[in-house]
Amino acid sequence: MNHFDHEKLDVYQIAIDWVSHAQDIQEGLPRGSGNLADQLQRATASIVLNIAEGAGEFAGAEKARFYRIAKRSATECAAALDVAKRRSSITQEHYAQGRSLLLRVVGMLVKLVRSHS
């Protein structure tokens, strides 16, 4: 066994790409945005951690539950992007790229939830 189950999932790899992108966004947030940065960091970590936990689960219903939690965290990240955009705290490029990554993650997680429910 050279890989963990979650490492084989495309959604996990895209979520890891989101982690890097979210870090760039957090570092670029202006002073006074600490609460938003912290929330974004927690929600971002929750996505990948719950995908990994779901992939490591045997029971289909439990897999689906972890993937649903990951999906909710991804939509929370999308809302954080909207807040940052409304505050003019991120560039349009960062916003668009982050939104694209999150839309892909959410779409893939919905499919995983449906396949295990």
Reported as a single tens digit per residue, the pLDDT across 68-90 is 999 999 999 999 999 999 999 99
pLDDT at 41: 97
pLDDT at 6: 97
pLDDT at 8: 95
pLDDT at 81: 97
Reported as a single tens digit per residue, the pLDDT across 8-64 is 999 999 999 999 999 999 999 999 999 999 999 999 999 999 999 999 999 999 999
Domain CATH for 102:
1.20.1440.60
pLDDT at 31: 92
Tell the burial category of 53 from Cβ atoms under 10 Å away from its Cβ (0-12, 13-18, 19+). Answer: middle
Total of domains in the chain: 1
Q: Which domain covers residue 99, as residue numbers?
A: 5-116
pLDDT at 107: 98
pLDDT at 117: 87
Would the pLDDT of 1 be above 80?
no
